C-alpha cells in the first residue's frame, strides 16, 4: 500500500493588496510514496517543497486536488495520529522545557500518561537531549531546537514521518546523527518523507527521490536509477604516485592525491589499463563504473526548465 498518494494537489495564492493577483505555488502534483521507504523531496529554495508539506499537513488548503495518507483521506483527523511532522526551522513554546514540550505534544497526540512516561525519556535520549530536558527552550541553540523538533515528530511512534529540511542548522555530527536516525526509522518499518536541498544527504539516505522546481515535478525515481547512467566509463584507482604513459594516453581525467591515483577511461580499455599496471608492478585498488551523481541529474533537470525560459527571452529580445 502507498503511504502517500498525492492526486493532483495544487496551490495558487492570491497576493497583492486586494488579494487579486494569483501566484501559482504548486502545479498539479501527482506523487506516490511507498510504505517503508525513505523518500527525498528535492528542490532549490522556493521550489514548492514546503507548500507541498503544508498541504499534506492541512496547514494550507489546496486550490484543487486531493491526497491519501496511509490509505485514508488526508484531511481525516485520525490520520494525524499516525504521522509526525518536523517543520522547517522549527520554533517551539520557548517557556517550556524539552520535557514539558514533549509531554504537551504527547497529550495532543493522544498518548496515554503511562506511555508518555516511558516514551519521553526514550525519545530525549535518542536525540541527545537528556541532559537538558529541564532547560527552557529559549536557552536552546538552533541545533538543539532541531533535535527537539525531531523528538516531537517521533514521540507518538508514528507510521509516517515528514521532515522539512531536517539537517538545517545542524553541525556535521548532528547531520550524521539525523541520517542515522532516519535509517533507524526505516528499519523500524516507518516511512520517511523528507524535503531537502542538500543532495548528498538525499543520495546517501533515500530509496527514491522526486525533484521539484518552480512548483512543477521534474522527475521521480529510485536514486540508483537516476544515478546509474553509466556513460561507458570506469574509474581505475591504484596505489602510487606515478601515471604510466600508456594509461595517460587512454585517460582524459587523471588525478594523483596522496599515494593514490585515479583515472577515468573507457570501459573497453579496462584490460589495457590493468596490463599496464601489472607491467609497472603497481597495486590495483579498485575499478568502478562511473555514475552520474544525483547532483548532475538535479542540475540537468533544473537546466531543462531554464533553457526554454532563456530561449523565450532571447526570442523576445
Partner 1 sequence: MSARIYYIARNTFREAVRDRVLYNLIAFALLLSGAAILVGQISIDIERLVAVDLGLSAVSLFGVVIAIFIGIALVSKEIEKRTLYTVLCRPVRRWEFILGKFCGLAGTLIVNTSFMAIGVFGALLYVAHKFGRPDAWIFVALYFIILEFLIICSLALLFSSFSSPLLSAVFTFSLFVIGSFADDLRGFARLTHGFTRWFALAAAYVVPNFSTLNVISRVAHEQPLGMHLIVQNTLYALFYTATVMSGAVLIFEHRNLK
59 binding partner 1? (CB under 8 A) = yes
Residue 237's CB: how many other CB atoms inside 10 A? Answer: 14
Grid cell 570506469 is found at 234
Q: Are 294 and 226 in contact (CB under 8 A)?
A: yes
Q: With respect to partner 1, which residue has the nearer C-beta, 11 or 262?
A: 11
Cα separation, 94 vs 101, in Å, equals: 9
Give min distance, CB of 85 to partner 1, in A.
4
Q: With respect to partner 1, which residue has the nearer C-beta, 54 or 262?
A: 54
The region of 58-66, 117-125, 177-185, 304-312 touching partner 1 under the rule CB under 8 A is: 58-66
CA–CA distance from 76 to each of 66, 68, 245 (Å)? Answer: 12, 9, 68
64 binding partner 1? (CB under 8 A) = no
Cα separation, 37 vs 190, in Å, equals: 7
Q: With respect to partner 1, which residue has the nearer C-beta, 75 or 306?
A: 75
Sole binder of partner 1 in the list 92, 143, 254, 282 (CB under 8 A): 92
Tell me the backbone φ, ψ of residue 69, rounded to 5 degrees: -120, 125
Question: Within 13 A of 267's CA, how many CA atoms are on the CB side?
Answer: 8
CA–CA distance from 34 to each of 5, 302, 305 (Å)? Answer: 9, 25, 28
Return the closest-CA partner of residue 132 out of 151, 119, 116.
151
The region of 91-99, 167-175, 209-217, 295-303 touching partner 1 under the rule CB under 8 A is: 91-99
Interacting residues with partner 1 between 134 and 193 (CB under 8 A) = 149, 152, 162
Give min distance, CB of 89 to partner 1, in A.
8
Cβ neighbours of residue 56 closer than 8 Å, sequence gap 6 or more: 4, 6, 9, 67, 69, 74, 162
Give min distance, CB of 106 to partner 1, in A.
10
Q: With respect to partner 1, which residue has the nearer C-beta, 196 or 227?
A: 196
Sole binder of partner 1 in the list 23, 34, 71, 78 (CB under 8 A): 78
Give min distance, CB of 74 to partner 1, in A.
11
Q: With respect to partner 1, which residue has the nearer C-beta, 108 or 222?
A: 108
77 binding partner 1? (CB under 8 A) = yes
Give min distance, CB of 51 to partner 1, in A.
9
H helices present in 27-126, as ranges? 49-57, 98-108, 113-126
> Binding mask 100-139 vs partner 1 (x if CB under 8 A, - otherwise)?
----xx-xxxx-----------------------------
Q: With respect to partner 1, which residue has the nearer C-beta, 87 or 121?
A: 87
Strands (E), the chain: 2-15, 21-34, 38-42, 64-69, 72-73, 83-86, 160-164, 191-196, 208-213, 216-222, 233-239, 253-257, 260-266, 284-289
Contact residues for partner 1 (CB under 8 A)? Answer: 13, 54, 57-61, 77-78, 80-81, 83-85, 87, 89-93, 95-96, 104-105, 107-110, 149, 152, 162
Amino acid at each position: 500500500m502507498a503511504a502517500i498518494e498525492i492526486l493532483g494537489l495544487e496551490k495558487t495564492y492570491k497576493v497583492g493588496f486586494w488579494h487579486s493577483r494569483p501566484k501559482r505555488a504548486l502545479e498539479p502534483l501527482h506523487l506516490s510514496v511507498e510504505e517503508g521507504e525513505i523518500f527525498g523531496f528535492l528542490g532549490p529554495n522556493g521550489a514548492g517543497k514546503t507548500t507541498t508539506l503544508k498541504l499534506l499537513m492541512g496547514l494550507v488548503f489546496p486550490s484543487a486536488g486531493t491526497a491519501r495518507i496511509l490509505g485514508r483521506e488526508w484531511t481525516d483527523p485520525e490520520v494525524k495520529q499516525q504521522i509526525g511532522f518536523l517543520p522547517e526551522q522549527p520554533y517551539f513554546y520557548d517557556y517550556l522545557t524539552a520535557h514539558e514540550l514533549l509531554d504537551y505534544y504527547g497529550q495532543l497526540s493522544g498518548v496515554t500518561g503511562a506511555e508518555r512516561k516511558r516514551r519521553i525519556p526514550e525519545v530525549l535520549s535518542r536525540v541527545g537531549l537528556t541532559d537538558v530536558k529541564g532547560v527552557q527552550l529559549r536557552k536552546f541553540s538552533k541545533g538543539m531546537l532541531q533535535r527537539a523538533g525531531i523528538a516531537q515528530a517521533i514521540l507518538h511512534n508514528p507510521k509516517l514521518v515528514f521532515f522539512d529540511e531536517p539537517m538545517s542548522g545542524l553541525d556535521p555530527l548532528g547531520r550524521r546523527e539525523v541520517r542515522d536516525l532516519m535509517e533507524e526509522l526505516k528499519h523500524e518499518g516507518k516511512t520517511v518523507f523528507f524535503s531537502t536541498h542538500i543532495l548528498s544527504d538525499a543520495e546517501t539516505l533515500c530509496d527514491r527521490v522526486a525533484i521539484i522546481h518552480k512548483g512543477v515535478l521534474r522527475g521521480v525515481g529510485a536514486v540508483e536509477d537516476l544515478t546509474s547512467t553509466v556513460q561507458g566509463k570506469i574509474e581505475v584507482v591504484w596505489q602510487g604516485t606515478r601515471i604510466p604513459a600508456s594509461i595517460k594516453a587512454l585517460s582524459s581525467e587523471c588525478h594523483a592525491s596522496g599515494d593514490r591515483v585515479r583515472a577515468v577511461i573507457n570501459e573497453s580499455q579496462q584490460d589495457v589499463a590493468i596490463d599496464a599496471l601489472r607491467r609497472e608492478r603497481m597495486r590495483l585498488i579498485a575499478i568502478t563504473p562511473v555514475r552520474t551523481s544525483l547532483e548532475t541529474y538535479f542540475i540537468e533537470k533544473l537546466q531543462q526548465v531554464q533553457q526554454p525560459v532563456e530561449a523565450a527571452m532571447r526570442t523576445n529580445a
